[in-house]
Structure 1
Amino acid sequence: MSELQIGVLILGGGVIALVVGFNVFQEWRFRKRTQQAFARAHDDVLLGVPKNNVRDGVRADRMEPVLVDAELEPEDDEPMFEPQLPEQTPFVREQALPTRQEPAAQQLDVPVIDEEDEAELAMDSADHQALVVAMQDPSLDFIAEVVFHEPHELAAMPRFNVGKRTQLIGRTERGLWKVAEALPGTRYKQINISMQMVDRSGAVTEQELAAFCQQVSRFAEDHDAAVSFPQRQQKLVAARELDRFCADVDVLIGINIVPKSSIEGARLRSFVEAAGLQLEPDGAFHYLADSGNTLYSLVAADQMPFTFHTLLDKSFPALTLLFDVPRVAGGVDVFDRAVYFARQLAQEFDAQLVDDNRRVLSETGLTRIRDQLLHIYGSMDDRGIAPGSVAALRLFA
């Protein structure tokens, strides 16, 4: 091979390498811009809390219904079914006011982005702006407004030592709202800092609210900004009233499946997964809606978490199917589906369905529970907090 041919080959290889390298660079540059425009390195803006979590039982005003036997007729002055709170499954509650409904989360189509400021352009739509602003709800949150005298770049986002969920959104110098992040080149005119006032641990206390306001004021002072707060006492009164409402509708229904002999874990897993449930990190099998929210879950009656290891070599003397009433969209229809699955379990494993007093579950008892569910759902709808909605998932978490 002549020196000319060798030179041509080397030159051709160099050109190919340059083209490939340029294409890789362009792909990396486009991916980086798209990630900057649409990525969000923050907790779930709607939940930020574990699924199906229940209160720790510190307070005694949260109840769980007991499934009533067919032969037990209630007295005229007694409720349709007796509330009872098992020690193993404590209950929860949360806050929400009727002033507005949470918008459903929306997905944005990703356009082809060529401009240098594509991160700002990604937010520049009415739908996206409304979604960001709706992350803070005056009916659920205590919202402090921090206004900078000049557009301000934050080196780090502040952290607040409070026991409730906090959320920060910011208005950029272009006037667009976004989840507040400490990004180089992003300058804010205003930061809104919210603290959720009610959850299943109860309503925010006066001391907690004062501590939050003090920390926000210190942040504003450090950045030479003005800060304004809602009227504290008015918010505290509203939070307590909302907390009482949430306590009234915060119900967890448990249906116990008691077999004649213990259920082998491997067989249980095979049957449950075939029915569409999946094992989650909390040690329970969950039946999920398309949204990813739990419709009902299955746990061991003795509260031993299911793991792939325990399901291989252990047996379970009883199971409990849980239906977290305020967190489930779909109402009585979903409850009926949960009961149908419980009956499938009973048939498969030669078991009985019983309530927490070990009384056999009857159709009469189920009818009474359905009636109570309709009352609960009606109360929630009247309040403007639909079961399974964003507000309900925040309040009952």
Structure 2
Amino acid sequence: MSNFQLGLLISGALVLVAVLGYNAWITHRNAPKRALPPEPGAAPEPLARLEPDFDGAALGLPASADDTEPAFDGHAVDLRDALQLPVPPAERRGGLDPLIDAIVPIAAEQQVSGDAALAALPPTRRAGSKPFAIEGFNEATQQWETPQPGQRYRQFQAGVQLANRLGALNEIEFSEFVMKAQGFADAINAMPDFPDMLHEVARARELDQFASEHDAQLSFLLRARQAAWSPGYVQQNAARLGLVAGAIPGRLVLPAGEAGLPPVLTLSYDSQAAMSDDPEQSAVRDIMLSLDVPLVHRAQQPFARLREIAAALGQVMDGVLCDQNGTPLPAMAMDPIAADLEQLYDKLDSRDLPAGSVLARRLFS
């Protein structure tokens, strides 16, 4: 073999090695980012799971040097310890309320046992698409309550919700409510006092109009700038910010400061990627951060938390915040939204339906 042929062979081999190396680099660069393995000797920490229940401060992240984004070292700092979630103020009422319910007083001719009242309840707790309930007045506690075994009642009330996110109570639903309330009254030998249907339907339409004008559900995309993310990578970084797994694959939530309340925020991504046979090879390019404004008390400052979590995740995961259509959002675009939300909170307060309250959670369900 001549020196010329040998030189060509060596040159070809070098080119082949370069091509293979370049392809390997491109493959590595474009592969989804994976979660970091646990420290040697440390057991991997499972992601806590939370089932959302429908029934003042932000995150407190340390500021970066330029004070424009929260400092976040995804490899060294666990920001869950920085979460100080305030507990909403205690509420003074629950159950049926004339503010959002059409209520029918039901007076029994004699005391009725709680067991008999429970047996007389209709099999379903809805009239059309609206929740329906019956309560008895407990003489000992001076409170209305769902009939309890072992108790005795003389006064009852039946109620149907005037509006929810499916719309206002209509004439057909009110008629169904009347039939169920009358059936209960007949079973316990009591007399109901029904309100005027047209008046209650008009109240329902007015309440539904108010709710429609003051309902806000915000969603923002965090989109990968370059390499995609694996589900494990998303979960690992979200967990450092206090988010825990929800009941649905591909959904994480920031729990409220009190058990049983709806989550402050939700983070969601492709459920198919979350359920993949090999999740670490699944590519996630977008995650959605969402806030259901009327369901979360303003004292928890959920929008401020959303902004800080989005900034922290964007910094460590190399993502850009976008609107729902994928258009990048400058930081200044978030300030007018925050101002509008404060006005919305004020209007809900003025209607005695503060965000996060039992009544607001029922109305905006």
TM range (shorter): 0.5 to 0.7
2:169 equivalent among 204, 207, 217: 204
CA contact under 8 A between 1:166 and 1:195: conserved in structure 2? yes
The structure with more radius of gyration: 2
CA contact under 8 A between 2:273 and 2:284: conserved in structure 1? no
1:270 equivalent among 231, 236, 243: 236
What is the CA distance between 1:223 and its match in structure 2? 2.5
Q: Does residue 1:136 correspond to 2:90, yes or no?
A: no
TM-score, normalised by the number of residues in structure 2? 0.67
CA contact under 8 A between 1:104 and 1:390: conserved in structure 2? no
> What secondary structure is seen at the aligned counterpart in 2 of 1:290?
coil
CA–CA distance in 1 between the matches of 2:248 and 2:136?
34
1:150 equivalent among 110, 134, 141: 110
The one-letter amino acid of 1:321's match is L
Aligned to 1:104: 90
Aligned to 1:108: none
Closer/same/farther in 2, CA of residues 365 and 333 from structure 1, 3 Å limit = same
Listed as ranges, the matches of 1:343-362 within 5 Å are 343-362=311-330
What is the CA distance between 1:213 and its match in structure 2? 0.5
CA contact under 8 A between 1:170 and 1:178: conserved in structure 2? yes
Closer/same/farther in 2, CA of residues 294 and 175 from structure 1, 3 Å limit = closer
CA contact under 8 A between 1:377 and 1:386: conserved in structure 2? yes
CA–CA distance in 2 between the matches of 1:366 and 1:192?
46
What is the CA distance between 1:349 and its match in structure 2? 1.6
What is the CA distance between 1:104 and its match in structure 2? 3.2
> What secondary structure is seen at the aligned counterpart in 2 of 1:373?
helix
The one-letter amino acid of 1:297's match is T
1:383 equivalent among 333, 340, 351: 351
Cα deviation code 1:63-108 (max 9, x no counterpart):
xxxxxxxxxxxxxxxxxxxxxxxxxxxxxxxxxxxxxxxx935xxx
Closer/same/farther in 2, CA of residues 173 and 266 from structure 1, 3 Å limit = closer
CA–CA distance in 2 between the matches of 1:308 and 1:166?
41
2:268 equivalent among 290, 299, 304: 299
Q: Does residue 1:229 correspond to 2:215, yes or no?
A: no
Listed as ranges, the matches of 1:67-86 within 5 Å are none
The one-letter amino acid of 1:276's match is G
What is the CA distance between 1:323 and its match in structure 2? 1.3
CA contact under 8 A between 2:100 and 2:161: conserved in structure 1? yes
Q: Does residue 1:340 correspond to 2:308, yes or no?
A: yes
Aligned to 2:41: none
CA contact under 8 A between 2:95 and 2:145: conserved in structure 1? no
CA–CA distance in 1 between the matches of 2:161 and 2:203?
12
Q: Does residue 1:289 correspond to 2:256, yes or no?
A: yes
Query: What is the percent sequence identity of the aligned residues?
Result: 24
Aligned to 1:114: none
CA–CA distance in 1 between the matches of 2:276 and 2:186?
52
CA contact under 8 A between 1:250 and 1:325: conserved in structure 2? yes
What is the CA distance between 1:330 and its match in structure 2? 2.2
CA–CA distance in 1 between the matches of 2:321 and 2:170?
41
What is the CA distance between 1:228 and its match in structure 2? 1.0
CA–CA distance in 2 between the matches of 1:175 and 1:345?
50
CA contact under 8 A between 2:162 and 2:207: conserved in structure 1? no
Aligned to 2:293: 325
Aligned to 1:392: 360
Cα deviation code 1:99-138 (max 9, x no counterpart):
xxxx935xxxxxxxxxxxxxxxxxxxxxxxx75xx42110
What is the CA distance between 1:264 and its match in structure 2? 0.9
Gaps of 5+ in 2: 1-51, 56-88
Closer/same/farther in 2, CA of residues 346 and 293 from structure 1, 3 Å limit = same
The one-letter amino acid of 2:153's match is Y
CA contact under 8 A between 1:299 and 1:305: conserved in structure 2? no
What is the CA distance between 1:50 and its match in structure 2? 5.0
Aligned to 1:252: 217
The one-letter amino acid of 2:266's match is S
CA contact under 8 A between 1:157 and 1:182: conserved in structure 2? no
What is the CA distance between 1:359 and its match in structure 2? 1.6
Closer/same/farther in 2, CA of residues 295 and 355 from structure 1, 3 Å limit = same
> What secondary structure is seen at the aligned counterpart in 2 of 1:165?
strand
Closer/same/farther in 2, CA of residues 234 and 309 from structure 1, 3 Å limit = farther
1:194 equivalent among 159, 166, 169: 159
> What secondary structure is seen at the aligned counterpart in 1 of 2:130?
coil
Aligned to 1:370: 338
Question: Aligned residues, how many?
Answer: 272
CA–CA distance in 2 between the matches of 1:166 and 1:247?
21
CA–CA distance in 2 between the matches of 1:313 and 1:147?
65
Cα deviation code 1:340-375 (max 9, x no counterpart):
111111112211111123221112211221222223
The one-letter amino acid of 1:314's match is S
